[in-house]
A and B are shown apart, each in its own frame.
Chain A
Amino acid sequence: MAIVKTERHPDLPPPTSQTGVIGWMRENLFSSPLNIVLTLVAGYVSWVALSSLISYAFIDANFAGTTREDCTGSGACWVFIKMRFGQIMYGFYPEEERWRVDVGYVLVAIGLFFVLSDVVKDKKWPAIYLFGFVPVACYILFSGGYFGLEHVETAQWGGLFLTLVLASVSIFVSLPLGIVLALGRRSSMPVVRMICVGFIEFVRGVPLITVLFMASVMLPLFLPEGVNFDKLVRALVGMSLFASAYMAEVVRGGLQAIPKGQMEAAKSLGLGYWQAMGFIILPQALKISIPSIVNTFIGLFKDTTLVLIIGLLDLLSIVKSGTTDKEWIGMAQEGYIFVAAVFFVFCFGMSRYSIWLENKLHTGHKR
């Protein structure tokens, strides 16, 4: 006898024991006796570690006062950070001019918001603003000398401000330059290819410290008398070129992962090399490289601390020099924890953004 189903089964929500917090915990934390034990042990250890950190950093910490003598509690002495906060943020940038840096931050933040988020669909104007207008405006604001703004020597720049300048300029330069180098390395023109391979391999073969050292100490020796670049500019050039070489390899990895058929399809439709690259190959290659690109950015961000050795006072070095102040002897712990927290906020932010971006760009062709 044939069995025929005449009514359609309605769609039901999934059983709650398999979804939601409870379902997740049951599946991931308490699925077997061994898992239960491991969960409890790990929970206990994190509790002990976390609670002592919290009482050190917050509960027993000292926030009030102006000198180290005011730190009577057993926890961290944040008074140190508080008293030197201006310096930690801006270095020796003149106090009455610091608003210029803040205005620069706001300009950048507005640009980043519109370029990175998806509140506006068409990114043309936000991109022109962020990559065209903002760099010029920030240069004028930070360095001064125009529109009645007082000139501020780069030697006075420092702290988090300097770290952010170093990181953003080298990120800003290294991505496009890295793409050009990666394309050059795959070019069919032997001279172009040789130059790109030579550059990439040379830069990757030496540590960043030596690149910075060469840029700041050796370069002036080769330049003719009187020609003298700013120390910060030399560091920026060194870091940007260094990062570009790494970026080039990251992008090349992405390019190699794109099937040959994509380029062939583009060519067969009559698209030229640059059109095919710009519309078809690069968008896909960059998309799959997002995790490694952001990885390189994060590495770069942290590597900015190496400018210490050529005497630039970035966030880390300004805090470090603060801890050697005889009025604040013994504040190294607070100083380094604070620096670590600041770096973590920025790097974690980049990492989360890259995950969000990957999900957004996912178009369902990975099956």
Chain B
Amino acid sequence: MSDAAMTKQAGMDVAIQIIGMHKWYGDFHVLKDINLTVERGERIVVCGPSGSGKSTMIRCINRLEEHQQGQIIVDGIELTNDVKKIDEIRREVGMVFQHFNLFPHLTVLKNCTLAPIWVRKTPKKEAEATAMKFLERVKIPEQAMKYPGQLSGGQQQRVAIARSLCMNPRIMLFDEPTSALDPEMISEVLDTMISLAEEGMTMICVTHEMGFAKTVADRVIFMDAGEIIEQAPPAEFFENPQSDRTKLFLSQILHNA
């Protein structure tokens, strides 16, 4: 017990820690005093109105965006301008984008093996075996030799998830992974994400899929105008929201759903 407490104190159980983080685009203050601690294995859903800074926040975690104030510590490594550390963090943090961002000139298999081969220096055969394993997990091994342009949206997004998993990340970031998909393809992607969550992957997921939040999330975070307004376990968040902005947002989103 004391061992666990000690490691926790040493930060071993903390996957991501954001302390007093601010970000500006020019004069525009996008992120205001963000404080967030994500434990290893925790599944977090981030929601909030359009333009509230959700994407910007999770993109700061793998330094696709630069923050100007405060600290971001990922896996015990603080994000600074040190390129080595940025690369180290990016190797451990996978990201899935709204528009998939698959590499259209490479086959599905090559999409999945490129980074393991060149970044992790995995031998080609081994990388291909790993890729096939993950393609099987997302249930599209038969598409391995196709090009992304020949797949449906849902299939492309599952390839994108497999591509990230091939790097064996410890943390996965999802930025609205289902909002560019047709309704009938959403569930196939969500199922993949749920099975990932069940395996204990640390996940931060920006999504408006409230069903997913209810079943999977350990914590729901609500952002508005660049601030974290409310965080709570899903049951509490949906049953008993505290702030008026949250209530308004929930009433709108549940209405539309």
Give A residues with C-beta under 8 Å from B.
Answer: 259, 261-262, 264-272, 275, 279-280, 283-284, 287, 361, 363-367
Summed over the interface, the residue pairs from A and B with CB atoms below 8 Å come to a total of 75
**B79 interface contact, C-beta 8 A:** no
Q: Which of B96-104, B189-197, B225-233 contacts A (4 or more CB under 8 A)?
A: B96-104
Find out whether the CB atom of B101 lies under 8 angstroms from the CB atom of A262.
yes
Which residue of chain A lies nearest to B160 when distances are taken between CB atoms in the complex?
A265
**B28 interface contact, C-beta 8 A:** no
Report the separation of the CA atoms of residues A326 and B243 in the bound assembly, to the nearest whole angstrom: 99
- A-B contact sample (6 more), CB < 8 A, given A268-B95, A270-B87: A262-B101, A265-B95, A265-B101, A269-B115, A365-B148, A367-B149
Report the separation of the CA atoms of residues A261 and B95 in the bound assembly, to the nearest whole angstrom: 12
Report the separation of the CA atoms of residues A270 and B167 in the bound assembly, to the nearest whole angstrom: 9
Some 6 contacts from A to B, beta carbons below 8 A apart, are A261-B101, A262-B101, A262-B103, A264-B95, A265-B95, A365-B105
Contact of B149 among A269, A280, A365 (CB under 8 A): A365
Majority DSSP secondary structure for residues of A touching B:
helix
With A270-B167, A271-B119, A283-B105: A264-B64 Cβ-Cβ less than 8 Å: yes
Report the separation of the CA atoms of residues A366 and B90 in the bound assembly, to the nearest whole angstrom: 30
Report the separation of the CA atoms of residues A85 and B160 in the bound assembly, to the nearest whole angstrom: 61
Contact of B99 among A261, A287, A365 (CB under 8 A): A261
Report the separation of the CA atoms of residues A283 and B106 in the bound assembly, to the nearest whole angstrom: 10
> What A residues does B56 contact at CB under 8 A?
none
Find out whether the CB atom of B104 lies under 8 angstroms from the CB atom of A365.
yes
Find out whether the CB atom of A268 lies under 8 angstroms from the CB atom of B149.
no
> What B residues does A264 contact at CB under 8 A?
64, 95, 97, 101
| Shortest beta-carbon distance from A303 to chain B in Å | 32
Q: Which 7 A-B pairs give the minimum distances between C-beta atoms?
A: A365-B149, A265-B101, A269-B115, A261-B101, A365-B104, A268-B95, A363-B147
Report the separation of the CA atoms of residues A164 and B148 in the bound assembly, to the nearest whole angstrom: 41
> What B residues does A365 contact at CB under 8 A?
104-105, 147-150
With A261-B97, A267-B90, A280-B103: A364-B118 Cβ-Cβ less than 8 Å: no
| Shortest beta-carbon distance from B136 to chain A in Å | 20
> What B residues does A363 contact at CB under 8 A?
104-105, 147, 149
Report the separation of the CA atoms of residues A259 and B103 in the bound assembly, to the nearest whole angstrom: 11
Q: Which of B62, B104, B164, B167 has the most CB of A within 10 A?
A: B104
Find out whether the CB atom of A269 lies under 8 angstroms from the CB atom of B164.
yes
Which residue of chain B lies nearest to A365 when distances are taken between CB atoms in the complex?
B149
Find out whether the CB atom of A366 lies under 8 angstroms from the CB atom of B105.
no
Report the separation of the CA atoms of residues A267 and B167 in the bound assembly, to the nearest whole angstrom: 13
Chain B 103-143, CB within 8 Å of chain A: the 1/0 string?
11100000000110011100000000000000000000000
**B93 interface contact, C-beta 8 A:** yes
**B43 interface contact, C-beta 8 A:** no
> What A residues does B91 contact at CB under 8 A?
270
| Shortest beta-carbon distance from B98 to chain A in Å | 9
**B94 interface contact, C-beta 8 A:** yes
Find out whether the CB atom of A269 lies under 8 angstroms from the CB atom of B167.
yes
Find out whether the CB atom of B105 lies under 8 angstroms from the CB atom of A287.
yes
With A363-B149, A366-B149: A271-B94 Cβ-Cβ less than 8 Å: no
| Shortest beta-carbon distance from B160 to chain A in Å | 8
Report the separation of the CA atoms of residues A266 and B95 in the bound assembly, to the nearest whole angstrom: 10
> What B residues does A266 contact at CB under 8 A?
103
Q: Which of A269, A283, A287, A366 has the most CB of B within 10 A?
A: A269
**B54 interface contact, C-beta 8 A:** no
Find out whether the CB atom of A275 lies under 8 angstroms from the CB atom of B118.
yes
Find out whether the CB atom of B103 lies under 8 angstroms from the CB atom of A268.
no
> What A residues does B105 contact at CB under 8 A?
283-284, 287, 361, 363, 365
**B163 interface contact, C-beta 8 A:** yes
Among B145-189, those with CB < 8 Å from A are 147-150, 160, 163-164, 167
> What A residues does B120 contact at CB under 8 A?
270
> What B residues does A279 contact at CB under 8 A?
103, 114, 118
Which residue of chain A lies nearest to B92 when distances are taken between CB atoms in the complex?
A270
| Shortest beta-carbon distance from A93 to chain B in Å | 44
Report the separation of the CA atoms of residues A206 and B160 in the bound assembly, to the nearest whole angstrom: 48
Report the separation of the CA atoms of residues A261 and B175 in the bound assembly, to the nearest whole angstrom: 12
Chain B 75-97, CB within 8 Å of chain A: the 1/0 string?
00000000000010011011101
Report the separation of the CA atoms of residues A361 and B101 in the bound assembly, to the nearest whole angstrom: 19
Report the separation of the CA atoms of residues A206 and B171 in the bound assembly, to the nearest whole angstrom: 54
> What B residues does A367 contact at CB under 8 A?
149
Find out whether the CB atom of B104 lies under 8 angstroms from the CB atom of A268.
no
> What B residues does A272 contact at CB under 8 A?
87
| Shortest beta-carbon distance from A123 to chain B in Å | 15
Find out whether the CB atom of B104 lies under 8 angstroms from the CB atom of A265.
no
Contact of A265 among B103, B119, B147, B149 (CB under 8 A): B103
